[in-house]
């Protein structure tokens, strides 16, 4: 197994993809809108990927946060609110906000599990500043660490109840970035003491099954390299000070914040201490380059993966999707 998560080009596998993925054996896959047309189509695609890999617990990921970051969209699937909504409710009624977030992500997890998706790249634990880039914006729960941690914990628990693994992101915090890391490299210049509030929610959720890095330079920790490629940030901050021991994946290595070829960025991320590389765009030449350069997944990576996937649907009774949505909406009506 290679420590990489690849995108898929369309609604079904091409013959070229099928042959390549069978030989390459990536750790998992990630879906986007281009892969999500109907329930029947998604079930067929996830089943084919699992059959191809020979792994019943194959991680199939999606970015389904709610709001503008949603891949499964109406009219086929219902819309879900962005994180900011729960943060606003927290101002009025914290317990109600936590319950609303838990019900929301429980229902969302059920929706994903229904089509064979088992990992959701959510929630954001970024503690935002007023100047934060709009790339984060309304996706975040707010600017106070305790609130972010409480709502984030509810989301992870809700997803687990729905049969899906949550991914806390963007470690060690994207909330001070003034520019969009999809387009350029953000630099955070505050000192290490100020960054304590950024890492606080991640420390509170250090037992989360999976996490995702950010492509941000934190000058107080490593002025030369973004977090994804920094041994200092990965090993001393994320693994050390935060204490996170779940499966750690990169954000998409195609983002313009990182420089170099896909293979170079992938190998640098693994060398820095990431467990898995995320490469989203299903470009065959790039995937071939990455597979040609990556080693096999380490025993530590495989152990963390197995531990994370074992949490899916653990000891949860059947739940009613409509009742969960109604509960969420009743609580959000307090706004």
Q: How far apart are CA 20 and CA 281, in angstroms?
A: 15
Q: How far apart are CA 112 and CA 120, in angstroms?
A: 8
Positive or negative torsion for Cα 61, 329, 74, 127: negative
In this structure, what are the phi and psi dihedrals at residue 178, rounded to the nearest 5 degrees? -95, -10
- Based on the residue annotation, tell me whether 170 is a catalytic residue of this protein: no
Q: Which residues pair with 217 in a beta bridge?
A: 187
| Short-list 204, 116, 198, 208, CA closest to 158 | 208
Q: Are 145 and 127 in contact (CB under 8 A)?
A: yes
Q: Are 212 and 170 in contact (CB under 8 A)?
A: yes
Residue 61 is encoded by which pair of tokens? Answer: 């990921």
Residues in the chain, how many? Answer: 335
Catalytic residue chosen out of the listed positions 120, 126, 222, 251: 251
Catalytic residue chosen out of the listed positions 114, 182, 245, 254: 182
| Short-list 100, 80, 94, CA closest to 155 | 100
- Based on the residue annotation, tell me whether 174 is a catalytic residue of this protein: no
Residues forming the active site: 182, 251
């Amino acid at each position: 197994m290679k420590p990489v998560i690849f995108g898929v080009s369309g609604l079904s596998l091409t013959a070229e993809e099928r042959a390549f993925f069978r030989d390459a054996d990536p750790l998992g896959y990630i879906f986007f809108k281009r892969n999500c047309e109907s329930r029947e189509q998604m079930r067929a695609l996830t089943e084919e990927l699992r059959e191809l890999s020979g792994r019943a617990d194959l991680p199939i990921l999606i970015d389904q946060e709610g709001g503008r970051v949603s891949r499964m969209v109406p009219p086929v699937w219902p819309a879900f609110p962005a994180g900011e909504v729960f943060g606003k409710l927290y101002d009025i009624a914290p317990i109600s906000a936590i319950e609303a977030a838990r019900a929301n992500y429980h229902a969302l997890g059920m929706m994903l599990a229904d089509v064979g998706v088992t990992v959701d790249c959510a929630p954001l634990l970024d503690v935002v500043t007023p100047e934060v880039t709009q790339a984060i914006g309304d996706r975040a729960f707010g600017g106070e660490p305790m609130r972010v941690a409480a709502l984030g914990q509810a989301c992870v628990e809700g997803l687990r109840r729905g049969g899906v693994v949550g991914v806390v992101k963007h470690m060690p915090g994207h909330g001070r970035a003034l520019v969009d890391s999809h387009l350029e490299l953000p630099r955070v210049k505050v000192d290490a003491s100020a960054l304590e509030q950024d890492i606080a929610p991640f420390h509170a959720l250090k037992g989360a099954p999976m996490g995702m890095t950010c492509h941000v330079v934190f000058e107080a920790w490593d002025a030369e390299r973004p977090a994804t490629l920094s041994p200092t940030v990965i090993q001393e901050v994320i693994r050390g000070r935060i204490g996170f021991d779940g499966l750690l994946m990169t954000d998409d290595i195609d983002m313009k914040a990182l420089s170099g070829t896909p293979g170079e960025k992938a190998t640098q991320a693994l060398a820095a201490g990431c467990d898995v590389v995320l490469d989203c765009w299903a470009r065959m030449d790039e995937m071939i380059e990455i597979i040609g350069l990556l080693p096999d997944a380490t025993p530590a990576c495989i152990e963390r993966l197995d531990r994370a996937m074992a949490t899916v649907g653990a000891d949860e009774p059947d739940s009613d999707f409509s009742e969960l949505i109604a509960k969420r909406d009743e609580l959000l009506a307090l706004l």
